[in-house]
Chains A and B, each alone.
Chain A
Amino acid sequence: MTLDFDDGGGMDDRPRLLLVDDDPDMLTMLARLVKRKCDCLVKSSSSGEEAGELLARWRPEVIITDLKMPGLDGMTLLRKAKEINPGVSVIVMTGYGNVELAVLTLKEGAYDFIEKPFDQERIIHSLKRCLERVRLLKENQRLQQQLGAQAAFPGFHGNSGRMREVFELINKVADTDVTVLIRGESGTGKELAARALHASSGRAAKPFVAVNCPALPAEILESELFGYVRGAFTGAAHDKKGLFLEAQGSTLLLDEIGDLPLSLQTKLLRVLQEKEIMPLGQTKSMAVDVRVLATTNQDLEEKIRRGDFREDLFYRLNVVPLVMPSLQERPEDIPLLAHHFLEKYSAEYGREGLFFSEEARQVMLRRSWPGNVRELQNVIKRAVLLATSEEISPAELGCGGVAREECWGAATLGQLPYNRAKQELVAGFSREYLNRALQRSGGNVTAAAKASGLGRQAFQRLLRRFGRATDQSSNGHDQ
């Protein structure tokens, strides 16, 4: 950091405001007004040339400049300032205001255009909004640096204690052949963790193989996993190499292992124990060198009690348990993740320069995220597509955000037509209510329905209508 030559030097991180006007009375008046009303470092300059030099030396973040000045005029100063620092906010004042000029200045990137003589309130209002923008941009920059600094594993972002534990564990067990059971709610990044384990292992050079267990019926899943030889059954016209053989020397992920049928659980257990497979119709078994990873968002212990999941398989898989924290357990990562998705989708959809308003930040921190990082990701993707200005408001963060009581403060609902607003509010409330009821009952629908004074079927109907809208576990996502 360079040392500034006065006004608190480099240690003062208040925003730097530069006032430029060739009329000394105007400068004095403005400086006095600004110092009284706003908390910022102020420098005044009575010529465009001098101001131009200050741009590089003092790096002002906000500039209030007159347009018509002898020598270097306001428009040239604006262009120069934008060139040196594209993030600078410039308020342009002029006594010769006309619309063409205003349009020209705003298109050059000025933040505001004010006609002289102006109302003091008017300029202070504009300046305060500028300072708020500067603060948000700085916050963005800070998050950007954090994102750049911690590329621990591709796709993963988070600085929270819980995520650090996850990173540490992944590092520790990645380059071993140990089986890892990755647990966590939907949308917490279980598959990403599996990919990270593979990518940091000695098997990384070979392609990672994943199979989604509930996506396929039992018989097909069996032949997918273990393969078959020609003639093993009607229609088996060729030898089929199963996924275990595909993953030879690599990693195989069994996604949603909780849904693996019992018959296949037995076969899988044998593979894990013997490290060999026997394709359907084959009499000789073949040795396989595959590292197995599994994910689940289900309560496997409960499934074991009910006899739906083999206990011995559970212990085989659960050699190292890796639990992905829910977003609720790591709220401090929300700003970082939100920023990451904002960057990602802004770039993807060519909508540069977007940022979250302060209210939007608050809403994201306070609302619940039953769909976890994936839900956050979807909400931000939608906001990027819908944003009508650079600043993303709570309304653009979608119905879940709007329905929260905090949003009434931001008056976003008030901007919608009555029926729409009511719908949004009811949907948000219902989702919140149902999910909280489910959380309290530990996911037991019957108990949650009873506690809510509803029949089980009515509860489920509501759940289908408002419930876990973002719970689509097959969506690709990163976090």
Chain B
Amino acid sequence: MAEILVLDDVLDVGMMIRRILSRKGHQVHVYSDEEPALAHVRANPPQLAILDIKLKKMSGVEVLEEIKKINPRVRVMILTGYPTLETAKLSLQLGADEYCIKPIDIDELEEKAGQILAKDGQA
């Protein structure tokens, strides 16, 4: 049971992720705008944030950096449809736990999220 935040500029994608991860008993908060998502992190740091890279105003990598500034213990999974070597490297250097590529299948998403949460002793 964990608190998970999802930020994707396409709300439907976020809803889909919520449906998948809620089945595992997690509390999933979905956002399609950067600011409210960051405000949520400030007020209630989740255990895991799943971030798209192509967002409306900022890039997911910038959001990752901001989240780590707010609270370095928030774990981050990047989930992007436009993978590049540069953003992959940068994300991992900035402390992302995973860099995954869309489309991702349900099993992989569950597995990766589970692995990340297990690092903090929460499945």
B is a partner of A: yes
Chain A residues in the interface with B (C-beta under 8 A): 97, 99-100, 102-103, 106-107, 112-113, 115, 350-351, 385-389
Are B95 and A103 in touch, CB under 8 angstroms?
no
Are B89 and A388 in touch, CB under 8 angstroms?
no
CB contacts (< 8 Å) of A107 on chain B: these are 92
Are A386 and B99 in touch, CB under 8 angstroms?
no
A351–B72 CA distance with the chains assembled, in angstroms: 9
A161–B73 CA distance with the chains assembled, in angstroms: 40
CB contacts (< 8 Å) of B88 on chain A: these are 99, 102-103, 106
Given contacts A102-B88, A103-B88, A106-B92, contact A388 B83 (CB under 8 A): no
A102–B94 CA distance with the chains assembled, in angstroms: 15
Are B89 and A386 in touch, CB under 8 angstroms?
no
Chain B residues in the interface with A (C-beta under 8 A): 65, 68-69, 72-73, 83-85, 88-89, 92-95, 98-99, 101
CB contacts (< 8 Å) of B92 on chain A: these are 103, 106-107
Across the interface, name the chain B residue whose C-beta is closest to A97: B85
CB contacts (< 8 Å) of B101 on chain A: these are 99-100
A106–B98 CA distance with the chains assembled, in angstroms: 10
B103 to chain A, nearest CB (A): 14
Are A113 and B85 in touch, CB under 8 angstroms?
yes
A312–B46 CA distance with the chains assembled, in angstroms: 62
A57 to chain B, nearest CB (A): 31
A97–B86 CA distance with the chains assembled, in angstroms: 12
Q: Which 4 A-B pairs have the closest CB atoms?
A: A99-B83, A388-B68, A106-B92, A103-B99
Are A113 and B89 in touch, CB under 8 angstroms?
yes
A284–B72 CA distance with the chains assembled, in angstroms: 62
Are A115 and B72 in touch, CB under 8 angstroms?
no
A112–B98 CA distance with the chains assembled, in angstroms: 16
A99–B72 CA distance with the chains assembled, in angstroms: 25
A113–B99 CA distance with the chains assembled, in angstroms: 15
Interface centre among A103, A107, A115, A350 (most CB of B within 10 A): A103
Given contacts A107-B92, A388-B95, contact A99 B85 (CB under 8 A): yes
CB contacts (< 8 Å) of A389 on chain B: these are 93-95
Across the interface, name the chain B residue whose C-beta is closest to A107: B92
CB contacts (< 8 Å) of B95 on chain A: these are 388-389
Are A388 and B85 in touch, CB under 8 angstroms?
no
B88 to chain A, nearest CB (A): 5
B64 to chain A, nearest CB (A): 9
CB contacts (< 8 Å) of A103 on chain B: these are 88, 92, 98-99
